[in-house]
Amino acid sequence: MISQTLREARKYEEVSEKLIDSKDRPAFHLSTRTGWMNDPNGFSYYNGKYHLFYQYHPYDLQWGPMHWGHAVSDDLLRWEYLPAALAPDEVYDRDGCFSGSAIELSDGRQLLMYTGVLRERQSNGGYREIQTQCLATGDGVDYEKYEFNPVLDTKDLPEGCSRNDFRDPKMWRSEDGTYYCVAGNRPADGSGQILLFTSRDGFEWKYKNVLIANKNRFGKMWECPDFFKLDGKWVLITSPQDMLPYEFEYHNGNGTLCLIGDFDEEKGVFTEQHDQSVDYGIDFYAPQTMLTPDGRRVMIGWMQNWDTCNFREQDILWFGQMSLPRELSIKNGRLFQKPVRELENLRSEKKEYRDIVFSDEIRLDGVSGRMIDMEIELRQEEGQDVYQKFAIHFAENEKYYTSLSFHPSDSILKIDRKFSGSRRAIIHQRRSRVNSSGGKLKLRIILDRFSVEIFVNDGEQALSAILYTEQEAEGISFYADGTVHMDLVKYKIQN
């Protein structure tokens, strides 16, 4: 039975999406069907399609009572909207269906696990959220909430675990068929920890252990955890709130953290050996991963920063888009990310230049556009000092541009969207340290109508940023201080 609340949301989104011209949306990144979108949820493969749900407030361009939006795709890039999957319509989730995950049950149904939120009146007159973990099952379109919800609440937690910050369950199934789930929680020290739960059937869940505690090292509360095996190691990806920057890591306030290490399955303990940011740009949060049928670990994130949500276009009727899905691997102990290979099928109109040599400003015939995939390799002039600076301006016209600049002397790559058309005094720049010597650098730059994503050195680092520059600004120019040698391949992306 579909509730009145869900029925209304479904009716509303069907009518109001028609007000948005597809040319006013990203072409190959999923954006909200209407209203507001945040975290990706339930990223999975089910009944022959990729499914992506998302935190969704259809009625407004601001965050509000959370629903789950829903879309499906054959190639992870071109998405088709399905009716909203969940609405806040039960006593235990009256104030929101927060983030969660999806898995296929042995009987063929899809199981969703999400955080139910209920605001509870306090004795001082204020409110506090009670967060519990809840289930819904369905056929890929319609979902029914489990009659014994919530399946995990404060009774299941050890002493000292907050019931107000207990959210974002991510499930997986181990080879022996056991269901596992990790969720974010706040312990007594006020920072974050990841709790591990197990289940034999996906419905009856038991607390196992604290998988790992933050102990106030990386920000505070840890949101949206994801835990998986990759290239012989175990990886925890989580989104800490309130991070302090450390050198060139963790500049995003609410940021993304990747820990690589080992997992003692018996004890349920994860020990980290390496930490890094997941994305070094401005806009990336709350990523979630899935395993594709051909065995790739693919991650997708909300291409947004909570602190820059006021950076928006006034007359656009949607807010929120996802990053490109990215294939993950571990190389030299670090997380590598590459756009899913399916993107190559959308390439057309190849333009190629080999060994362009320049030491001032140049433009290249046929190199422009706002929906492009471009690979650049830089080198210095043999026998000369390494160049001082390289820069590329894109989404450019007489009034606007966004730049990516590189200084080999300190290996700093900087993205700057200050002149992209923003009228807000918020963060528009991010500097990151990249791996380079002798002026060598490899960049892959992907532009969609409202974003740029940069992959450095074959995926060693990724930087994402949203852009609202008018679409007519499609120029691209290159700058060098000193002599730069450049190879370039550029494709148009057709959706």
**Least spacing, CB of residue 165 vs ligand FRU, in Å:** 9
- Rank residues 67 and 326 by Cβ distance to ligand FRU and give the closer one: 67
Tokens standing for residue 493: 């992306």
C-alpha span between 472 and 351 (Å, rounded): 21
CA angle 333, 338, 344 (to 5 degrees): 155
Tell me if residue 360 is catalytic: no
| Cβ pair 475, 356 in contact under 8 A | no
DSSP 202-220: SSSEEEEEEEEE-TTSSSS
Rule CB under 6 A: which residues touch ligand FRU?
38-39, 55, 66, 98-99, 115, 167-168, 223-224, 285-286
- Full DSSP string of 20-32: S-GGGS-SSS-B-
Q: Closest distance between ligand FRU and the C-beta of residue 115, in Å?
A: 5
Instruction: Report CA-CA distances (Å) from 245 to 212, 248, 276.
Output: 21, 7, 12
Choice between 66 and 85, CB closer to ligand FRU: 66
| Whether 473 contacts 399, CB under 8 Å | yes
Report CA 364 to chain centroid distance, whole Å: 33
Q: How far is the CB of 88 from ligand FRU (least distance, A)?
A: 11
**DSSP 3-state assignment of 17?**
helix
Asked if 43 and 326 touch (Cβ cutoff 8 Å), the reply is: no
| Shortest reach from residue 168's CB to ligand FRU, in Å | 5
Shortest spacing between CB 84 and ligand FRU, in angstroms:
14
> Which of the residues 39, 95, 279, 416 is marked catalytic?
39
* DSSP 8-class letter at 141: S
Q: Shortest approach of ligand FRU to residue 286 CB, angstroms? A: 4
Helix, strand or coil, per DSSP, at residue 330: strand
Q: Residue 426 contacts by C-beta under 8 Å, 6 or more apart in sequence?
A: 307, 308, 310, 311
Tell me how far, at minimum, the Cβ of 66 lies from ligand FRU, in Å: 5
Nearer to ligand FRU, 93 or 168 (CB): 168
Cβ(319)–Cβ(312) below 8 Å: yes
Strand, helix or coil at 365? Answer: coil
Beta carbon nearer to ligand FRU, 223 or 453: 223
Pick 222 or 394: Cβ nearer ligand FRU:
222
Residue 267, amino acid: K
Least distance in angstroms from the C-beta of 204 to ligand FRU: 23
Q: Are 68 and 42 in contact (CB under 8 A)?
A: yes
Q: How far is residue 373 from each of residues 32, 145, 352, 405, 448, measured CA to CA in Å?
A: 23, 42, 12, 18, 9
The residue among 31 and 115 lying less far from ligand FRU, judged by its C-beta, is 115
Q: What minimum distance in Å lies between the beta carbon of 221 and ligand FRU?
A: 8
DSSP string, 322-369: B---EEEEEETTEEEEEE-GGGGGGEEEEEEEEEEEESSEE--TT---
Residue closer to ligand FRU by CB (options 285, 311) is 285
Which tokens hold the place of 424?
């807000």
Closest to ligand FRU by CB, 66 vs 346, is 66
Q: Which is nearer to ligand FRU, 129 or 381 (CB)?
A: 129
Dist CA 239 CA 95 (whole Å): 22
The residue number with the shortest CB distance to ligand FRU is: 98
Buried b (16+ CB within 10 A) or exposed e, 460-486: bbbbbbbbbbeeebbbbbbbbebbbbb
H or E segment to which residue 97 belongs: strand 97-104
Neighbouring-strand partners of residue 213: 193
Catalytic amino acids? 39
